[in-house]
Structure 1
């Protein structure tokens, strides 16, 4: 496995691998089994698998969150090599941004709901860095996890609107045995908070159960608010019930379409997101 920290070295190496298909997994490091599942899928479907590790400062609207984000490059590289990754691109912020980007990306209504609403400017940062990475790596396929459901929608829009010649593969969320969605942020949870964290998945499943029992969306959201009021450790940021394809709010569920229940909550100073599709 080759590890590069400059754009020039990375591109030079990839250009030498002509006529080989490239699968690409962009990450911010602190890798877990969810990331490794993406790497293994890419390994199975492409000649070369490239993983980027870059904690992108432009997508953090909370400087403290950026400061505390775990950085574990040596450990990450060991996991990637064992999973069959061929190339790791791990640049510095100065390498990726010799000058701060002046362009601004706006993803329409996705900027106004859920992550877009509570993290203004976040998707601009995501869109710019992913576009840069696509130009650097020039992959045939790119792999993302379903846990970041709104990010998936944003990247899908980016690929379509900028006519990137690649296919996005979206993979199922990988969970711990107790239901907690795997996330790099889980490392920051205290033992007490980690024991409580599966309540997030429990609340998603409860929402599904209530909806399938015929309760209205308003009633379900009210009961979920009550659910979290009984657990003072949590600060619920949002709990939304949307159309799976568009992520727009719906007035009722329908057997003709998939429904997404999407949540963000703070626990012990760590912000966690998750979703459930049915």
Structure 2
């Protein structure tokens, strides 16, 4: 599969990539200096500055917000826990709307405390998304289910494949799609067919990139820069774009022992280079 060289205007930086070096204001300013015109902030980064001020910073720098990370974490062991999760997701929705985000990314949550019933957790996820859609639809905010690697099924996300996420989308209808994260889906033997399925349904709302290192020393906080690992990112991007996706490529790297220790301007410069040459 032949793919074009991606250009700088297709690049977004998920602010997790520089979260240990910069707050939201510094990250937006750094991206602007580097010629990067899009970001995806995390809710704690927004909260540290304040929602209104975060929106002003984004607006004043002309930044596109490719997604807000994150809503979700729907399953809970008690009715009170389910109610609290819903209220937090309504708050996340309000934040995404205020920031003008392209979508609200959902990391759906794993097993409730004390549970071994993953089927019930998945039911709670679908019920929670359906309930959130009642507010997200009128607000015009798409919800992007992000399936996570199966190693996170117990604690972070019991939706682990694109097929599972798309099945939920098909049952719930308009207003919900998927965020395809290379780190989480690259291993899936059904990936090509499911990306095509997502494209036919117009469900691809976000595309996140990084690399899988061998060996990986920390399954959460040792993601690789594009080109440093084993994911065939050019092929993956080709599949996503062949499916009709024309959006941005969002670099999202958690790296406590490497990239989070480096000069953040160097990190952004490397992201630009590797986005062009390795993804």
Q: TM-score, normalised by structure 1?
A: 0.28
Normalized per residue, the structure richer in strand is 1
Q: TM-score, normalised by structure 2?
A: 0.28
Larger Rg belongs to = 1
- Between 1 and 2, higher relative CO (CA 8 Å, sep ≥ 6) is seen in 2
